Structure 1
Amino acid sequence: MSESPDRRASDRRRRNRIIAVGAAVVVLAVGVTAAGVISGAEGDDSATRTSASGTAAPASASPTPTRPAPTLTPTPTAVPTFDKAARSIDDPTSIWVVSDKLRPLNPVDYEPADLVDVPVAHTWDPVLRQEASDAVVVMFQAVSDEAGLALASNSAYRSYSTQQSVYDSDVASLGQEGADLSTARPGFSEHQTGLAMDIGAASGACSLNQCFADTPEGQWLAANAYRFGFLLRYPADKVPVTGFEFEPWHYRYIGVDLATEMHSTGVTTLEEFFGLPAAPDYG
C-alpha cells in the first residue's frame, strides 16, 4: 500500500526540523567550547602579564632560614695575684722585713718605736710591737676557746745588746758553729724586730725544745698560727734555706694577708716566697 502525497510531505518537514535543531545544538556546543578556550587563554595571558610586570607576589615563597644566635665567649676573669711588693722586705719597720744570715737589719742596732708590753702568760716579761702584740693576745685566747689549751711566752723582743749577751753565752757553751745554728748574731735576729716570739705551753712541757712540735699546743700552733698572721719561721726541712735548726716554738708576725698567702701556696720560708737566696751561713 503506497503512502499518500500529503503523508510524505509531512514526514519530510519533520526530518528537516530535527536536522535543523541538531545543527543548532552542534553550533552552540562549538561556540561554548571556543569561548572556554579563549577565556582560558586570556586568563593565562593575564597571569603571565601580572608575573612579568612584577606587581603581584608569588603564591608562596621559601621561608628564610633562622640562624642560631652566636654564642658569646665569656671574658676570662682575672685571677687576683698577691702583690709581693706591697710592703718592704728591707725596711726594719716593715712587718715583712726579712732578716737572716745574709740580711742584717739596717741599722744593725735598730730598735722599734712602738714596743708595748704583751698581756699574756709568760716566763720573761714579753714586749712586742703593738700590731704583733695585739695578734698574740687574740691567738692565745683562740687556743683556749677552741682547744682548751694554754700558751705562754718564753721570749719576745730583744735589743741589740741583749742579743749580744745571748749569743756570747751560746758561743761559750756550744762553740761558734753550734751557736750560729741555734742563735742569731746581734743585728741579724728576728727578735730584735719586735715581731718574733718564742711560744710554749703554759705548763712548760718541752719548753724551747723540739719535742714541743709533738705537744697539743705545738700542733695547734703549727695548724692555726697563720690565721692570726704568724709564721713558723724555722721549719725542720728548711735548715739549708734559713740557716737555723728546727725551732717549733719560734713564731714570726708577718700579718694575716702574707701568712694566709704562704699557707695557701705551701711556701714555708720568707726566703723562698720572696725569691731571696738561701742563707745557710753568714756572708
Structure 2
Amino acid sequence: MLKPIFAATALSSFILMAGCSFDLTSDDKKEPKEEQPSSQDKETETDKNNDSNESAQRQVEVDETVKPAQAGLQTLANPESIPVLVNKQYSLPEDYKPEDLIYPKVDFIFQDKIEKRMMRKEAGKALEKLFQAAEKENMHFAGVSAYRSHQTQIAVFNNYVAKDGEEKARTYSAMPGTSEHETGLAIDVTTHDGACAAQDCFGDTNEATWLAEHAHEYGFIIRYPEGKENITGYKYEPWHIRYVGVEAATEISETKSTLEEYYNAVPVKAVSNK
C-alpha cells in the first residue's frame, strides 16, 4: 500500500519542480523593458521643436527689385509690419511714411505738438498703457523723441557725422532709412524731469529698471540691450524702446535676446560697414 502513495508523491514533486524550473528559465530570458517617455515629456519635446521650427521659419522680407544703396543693405518689402526688423542691413523704402501716425496722450520733455511726438496708432496706444501702469507704481516717464521722417533723419545723421565723424556716428545714430524712428514704432524715453534724456545715466534710474522688467507686457522691448552690441550694431541704449507687439516682445524678453535673434538674422557686426 505504501508504494503507490510514494510513487504518486514523487511524481507530483517532479511536476512541481519542473514547473518552477520552467518559470525561472522563462524569467531569465525576458529582456528588460525600455522606459518609455511620458506623455508630458513628449509634449514638452514637441513644444520645443515647434518653437525652434517657428523661429527658423521667420524671415525678413526684402524687395529684390530695389537696387541696394550700398553693399550689405537690402530694402524691406513690408515696412508696415509691426515686428519689422530695421537695422544696418535692412532699410525702409526711401519714400516710406506710416499712414496711421497719432499723438500719444503722454507727457514729453517738450510742449510742442511736432513730428517727434508722433507714433503709429497701435504703438502709441500701447505707450499710453505703459506710462499709466508705471504711474501706478510711482514710476514717472516722459517721451524724448518718437517718429522721425526720412528727411529729418538725414539732417540728424549728417549733424552727428559733422560732430564725431561717420565711423563713430554710426555706433549711436542710424543712416537715413535704417533708423527705427522712421517706422513710427520706436521712442526714446526718460524720467519725467528729463534729467537723463538719451544719456547713459538713465540706465541707473528706477524707471530704467522698471522699464526693462515690464516693457514687454505692453509690447515693447529694449531694442539695444547691454551685451548685445555685436548683434545689434549699436551701443547699449536703455532709453530706446521699440514696439513689436506683446507676443514677440514677451518671447524676446524671456529669452533675453534681440530682434535680430528673433529673426535668426546675421549679427550686424558680421557684415562689413566699409
Is TM more than 0.5 here?
A: yes
Name the SS for the 1:161 alignment partner: helix
Which residue in 2 is equivalent to 1:270? 259
Q: Which amino acid aligns with 1:99?
A: V
Q: Which residue does 2:241 correspond to in 1? A: 251
Is it true that 1:112 corresponds to 2:103 in the alignment?
A: no
- Call closer, same or farther: CA 1:139–1:87 in 2, change over 3 Å: farther
For 2:91, the aligned partner's letter is P
Q: TM-score, structure 2 length as denominator?
A: 0.71
Matches for 1:75-94 after TM superposition, within 5 Å: 75=39, 76-77=42-43, 78-79=46-47, 81-82=50-51, 83-84=54-55, 90=76, 91-94=78-81
Q: Determine the C-alpha separation between the residues in 2 that align with 1:190 and 1:255.
A: 15
Structure 1 counterpart of 2:86 = 99
Runs of 4+ residues over 2 Å off in structure 1: 72-90, 280-283
Matched, 1:135 2:126: yes
Query: CA separation in 2, counterparts of 1:86 and 1:172?
Result: 38
1:9 aligns to what? none
Shift of 1:87: 8.6
What do residues 221-265 of structure 1 show as CA deviations (whole Å, max 9, x unaligned)?
011111111111111211111111111110000000011111222
Percent identity between matched residues is 39
Amino acid at match of 2:245: G
Listed as ranges, the gaps of 5+ residues in structure 1 are 1-71
* Deviation string, structure 1 residues 168-216 (Cα, Å, up to 9, x no partner): 1111111111211111011110000010000101111211111111101
- CA-to-aligned-CA distance 1:141-184 (integer Å, 9 cap, x gap): 00011x21210000000000010111111111111112111110
Instruction: Spell out the pairing of 1:1-283 with structure 2 (5 A cutoff).
Output: 75=39, 76-77=42-43, 78-79=46-47, 81-82=50-51, 83-84=54-55, 90=76, 91-105=78-92, 107-124=93-110, 125=113, 126-145=117-136, 147-267=137-257, 269-280=258-269, 282=273
Shift of 1:88: 6.0
CA distance in 1, matches of 2:129, 2:60: 25
Q: 1:133 to 1:87 in 2, by over 3 A?
A: farther
The answer to whether the Cα contact below 8 Å between 1:149 and 1:217 also exists between their aligned partners in 2 is: yes
Q: TM-score, normalised by structure 1?
A: 0.69
Taking only aligned residues, the RMSD between alpha carbons, in angstroms, comes to 2.1
Q: C-alpha separation between the residues in 1 aligned to 2:37 and 2:255?
A: 30
Change (3 A) 1:144 1:165: same
Which entry has the higher C-alpha Rg, 1 or 2? 1
Match of 2:171, SS state, is helix
SS in 2 for 1:121: coil
Number of the residue aligned with 1:8? none
**Would you say the 8 A contact 2:109–2:193 is kept in 1?**
no
SS across alignment from 1:236: coil
Residue type at the aligned position of 1:128: M
Number of equivalenced pairs: 210
Aligned-partner SS, 2:170: helix
Tell me which amino acid in the other structure corresponds to 1:139. L
Give distance in 1, aligned partners of 2:184 and 2:253: 22
CA distance in 2, matches of 1:86, 1:171: 34
Query: Per-residue deviation at 1:73?
Result: 7.9
Give unpaired runs (5+ residues) of structure 2.
1-35, 62-75
Partner SS, residue 211 of structure 1: helix
CA distance in 1, matches of 2:134, 2:59: 29
